[in-house]
Every structure is written in structure tokens, then in C-alpha cells.
Amino acid sequence: MKAFVVTHYGPDGLEAAEVPAPEVGPHDVLVEVRAASINPLDKMVRNGEFKQLIKYKRPFVLGHDVAGVVTRVGGEVHDFKVGDEVWSRPRDLRIGTFAEQIAIDAADVALKPTSLSFEEAAAVPLVALAAWQALVDVAAIRAGQKVLVHAGAGGLGSTVIQVAKHLGAYVATTASTRDIEKVRDLGADEVVDYTQADLADVLSGYDVVVDSLGLASLEKSLTVLKPGGLAISVVGPPDPHFAVQLGQPVLKPVMAIMSRKIRSRARKHGVRYSFLFMKASGAQLTTLAALYDTGILRPVLDRTFGFAETIEAMAYVEQGKAKGKIVVTR
């Protein structure tokens, strides 16, 4: 089958290739890919940023988001049948959505929201799971708390805004001048135009910050949290808990060193730091599907590319100008 595989780590490491059809285990479903989306994580994996932690055997098919149709089910699978329209963020070491087909553990799969097209559904599994896990599992957000999310017009930021509002939070976000109305429409209560103001001069007393930009914005975010507040980053540095999540507690000292600087700064401000590397979950995708079908959440897409243009789609994401998710379709 046709696929896009990482042959070597680096910016030019993704190539079109013919690969064998997936093997379907007893707990798997085989999905015909109708659409997949591009995430910053794809770039990070392609470049080898997690190669010491998540050990893929090259060449491997890239891609973390998918919407498609079940064409075969394993012998131990009872919740899905051939013809089901599904969506998923496959678990690590079993990614590979930039392909014509993918075999996925059924525990990572859910029925696609009926109100969404394949393109729309493919845009959101990773960002929706990340938003839900950050706000519900890690931060345990309660109604009335204050949440700041960076880059509210982007794929993750736009989803965090919506999930936070659903949970009853007061939400602030950063955006450029041209995106102010867009993020307000998504539910943001307060918008900091980063081209005109410094968020540290405008915001204070926040319970949670969700950051996807990097160390500079993360460090500044510590100053807007109230005592005991929590800064969550999806881009790192990884903290010792991540070693436990990977099932490699022996790496806890290494990750403690990697995140020592930001954790130390957080302590000086009387706040906390947590790294989030989202986990695959079909059960949570089922919960999220209901929120999309009732209109509480909605996908935010920038543009779509054809499957043959997957490398061009990756390049577009890497330009950093996308206002929403980038999707490739078959």
C-alpha cells in the first residue's frame, strides 16, 4: 500500500513509499484511512526528538490522527463491525495514519461523531484528547477557575478554549490582531493581542496555563499563575512523571535533569509544572464525540491537502502560519 514513512531522522526524513499491508491482531480493527491530520508531534517524531524515549524501528509510517472506515475486525473485537465510521489517535509505537490503511488497537478507537465529515473528524482526536487530559485528568478544572491557553487560534488552543468553557472556566488566550474575533467566537472571555501587549502585564491570578509554544512562553506563563497554580506544557521539557507514563521509571532521573530549570522556576513562583504527553483513549474519544455531535465542541480547520501532498502539508504546518488544523484526504 502507499504510505509516507520516516526513513531517517531529520527535516528531510519523510518519504513516499510502498509498504506491506498492516497485520491485524485479535484485538485490532483495520481502518481504511479517509483522512488524517498533521500535528506538530509529527514533526517532532520525524526529527527524532523522542527517539531515546519512544523507540520506533525505521522505516515506519508517520501520522497520529485518523478518520476512516473499518474494513476488518480481529477475533477478540466485539464493539466494532465492518463498515463502522471511526476516528482515533493510535497509541505510540503503533502510529501510521499517513497510509491507505492502518491496524489500530480497538481500545484506541471510537465511533466517529456523526455530525462531522471525515476531514473534520480527522482534525481533532489528538488535540481533543490533549485538551481533555490537560484540563480534566491533570488540572481537574472546576467551574469558575481561570484558564490561560496560548495560541488560541491554533489547532490545540482552539480546542482547549472550547473544552475549558464547557467545564465552566473563565478563559483567556493569546492571539494576533486578526484572530481576536475568531477566538472570542470560540468562547474566550479575554484575549491578549500578543502583537500589542505582554501577557505578564495584563493577566494575573490564573489557576492553569496550557502552553504549546515552548520554553519562553512557558516561563512567562509562570508569572500569571496564582500561588499553587499549574503550568501544563505539551512541548516539554518532559518531567519525571513522563518516565512513569512510558513505563520506564529508570529514566526518572534523566527527565528530572531535563526539566530541572523550569521546575525550579515554578517553585520560586510558588506554582507547579507538568508535562503532558497525551495518551490514546477510545473511551475518551467516545465522550468527546458526544460533545461534537451536540455542538458544544467544533473542529477548526485551516485547509486540506490531497494524500499525495502529505509532505507539502507537513511543510505548511512547519511554517507556523496555520490557523487551525491541516488535514490530508484520500
Task: Read off the pLDDT of residues 109-154 as tens digits, 9 standing for 90 and up.
Answer: 999 999 999 999 999 999 999 999 999 999 999 999 999 999 999 9
Same domain? For 265 and 134 the reply is yes
295-316 pLDDT tens trace: 999 999 999 999 999 999 999 9
174 and 266 together in one domain:
yes
Work out the number of other CB atoms within 10 angstroms of the CB of residue 303. Answer: 12
Inter-residue contact 238 to 275 (CB < 8 Å): yes
> Is the separation of the CB atoms in 208 and 224 below 8 Å?
no
Per-residue confidence (pLDDT) for residue 167, from 0 to 100: 98
Q: What is the DSSP string of 157-195?
A: HHHHHHHHHHTT-EEEEEE-GGGHHHHHHHT-SEEEETT
Number of folded domains that form the chain:
2
The answer to whether residues 102 and 161 belong to one domain is: no
Number of helical H runs and strand E runs in the chain: 12, 16
| Mode of pairing for the β-strands spanning 325-329 and 301-306 | parallel
- Rounded Cα distance between 3 and 100, Å, is 7
Same domain, 139 and 223: yes
- Mean residue pLDDT of the chain comes to 96
Contact by Cβ (8 Å): 274, 236: no
pLDDT of residue 205: 98
> What 8-state DSSP symbol labels residue 308?
G
Provide the CATH number for the domain around residue 31: 3.90.180.10
Distance between CA atoms of 37 and 121, rounded to whole angstroms? 9
For residue 213, CA distances in Å to 225, 252, 267, 301 come to 17, 24, 21, 19
Q: Are residues 118 and 147 in the same domain?
A: no
Q: Are 215 and 262 in contact (CB under 8 A)?
A: yes
Question: E strand or H helix at 254, and its extent?
Answer: helix 252-258
Domain, as residue range, for 88? 2-123+299-329
Is 281 part of a structural domain of the chain? Answer: no
What does the pLDDT average to over 44-53? 91
Model confidence band, residue 243 (pLDDT cutoffs 50, 70, 90)? confident
Enter the DSSP assignment of 231: E
Are residues 130 and 86 located together in one domain of the fold? no
Query: Is 291 inside any structural domain?
Result: no
Given a cut of 80, whether residue 93 has pLDDT beyond it is yes
